[in-house]
Amino acid sequence: MTDTPIQEAAPKPEMTRLQRWWDSDFMYSFRHAPVAVVSFFVVAILVLAAVCAPLLAPYDPFNPATLNLMNGFTPPGDANAFTGESFFLGTDDQGRDVFSTILYGMRISLFVGFSAVLLALVLGVFLGLLAGYVGGWTETIIMRVADVQLTFPAILVAMLIFGIAKGITPAEYRDQMAIWVLILAIGLSDWVQFARVVRGTTLVEKNKEYVQAAKLIGRSPLAIMLRHILPNVLSPVLVIATISLALAIIAEATLSFLGVGAPPTKPSLGTLIRIGQEFMFSGEWWILLFPAATLLALALSINLLGDWLRDALNPRMR
């Protein structure tokens, strides 16, 4: 990257790409927004911890061989009365290490969240481009479907899709399929936001000269949509994607909490909170508190990051 001889020769040293990126408006506003910096690091650490869960987790909570029921209900930090083992964040009723279950649970929550947003993004952006660029009947149908779906809260649509998908999958595969059904349900409930914004921007962009020029040299409509218009509609999409991620993680947690999401054999943060709630009245607070705090930290920091991103990418705010 760095080309030292040229840099020394030039009167004003050429900036490397990294430096230019660091000095860009975007990074400038990032460095001067402490909330955004803190949120970014919280999200980064949590995502990293989730990705590296098998390396970081002291126990494998899903391997029955390593579980010892005698270790059940060990409070955080204390040694267990029977086995003498101690656990950083305590254990649940089955003697599973809470810290390890949170790491693995976060992995599932984040996987479902990212995948669902990706599904919603691809579907929404494509349908939005199609509606905006092609117009006519295509547009009417896509946007009417979007309107009807928007009448209903996303979480309700997700529950319905989950229920229907559960009905279609044979009973013996339900637990295995649950994660994929969740992704499908949350993703399909969330594409409308993307489609509406992309359609709006596309309607503006398609009359610009570069699109006319591309048409003139005979590029196919698909190529114009994907290679020419798409790059120009991406920044609002990025903002929606970030906020959608927080919403998707909350939606997943909510569905799992309600018992229509990740099964207890593959618990996400929502499932862990559902399990923990049962022990709230008997005083084992740690089984509930730590997963709940993790979920809150994750959702809040992504939300704050999205808030900042919206302002930073909005040209009117500069």
Residues of this chain that interact with other proteins (CB under 8 A) are 148, 151-153, 155-156, 159-160, 162-164, 166-168, 171, 246, 250, 253-254, 257-260, 273, 277, 280-281, 288, 292, 295-296, 299-300, 303-304
- Our CB check for other proteins shows the closer of 166 and 219 to be 166
CB of 169 to other proteins, least distance (A): 9
CA angle 288, 292, 294 (to 5 degrees): 125
CB of 257 to other proteins, least distance (A): 5
202-219 b/e (C-beta count within 10 Å ≥ 16 → b):
beebbeeeebeebeeeee
The total number of residues shown for the chain amounts to 318
CB of 292 to other proteins, least distance (A): 6
- Give the three-class secondary structure for 86: strand
Taking the alpha carbons of 311, 315, 316, 318 in that order, is the dihedral positive or negative? positive
CB of 263 to other proteins, least distance (A): 11
- Our CB check for other proteins shows the closer of 83 and 277 to be 277
Instruction: Tell me how far apart the alpha carbons of residues 213 and 208 are, in angstroms, rounded to a whole number.
Output: 9
- Our CB check for other proteins shows the closer of 182 and 225 to be 182
CB of 258 to other proteins, least distance (A): 5
What residues have CB less than 8 Å from 17, skipping those under 6 apart?
1
- Our CB check for other proteins shows the closer of 211 and 255 to be 255
Taking the alpha carbons of 112, 114, 115, 120 in that order, is the dihedral positive or negative? positive
Dihedral, CA of residue 160, residue 166, residue 167 and residue 173, to nearest 10: 170
- Our CB check for other proteins shows the closer of 153 and 264 to be 153
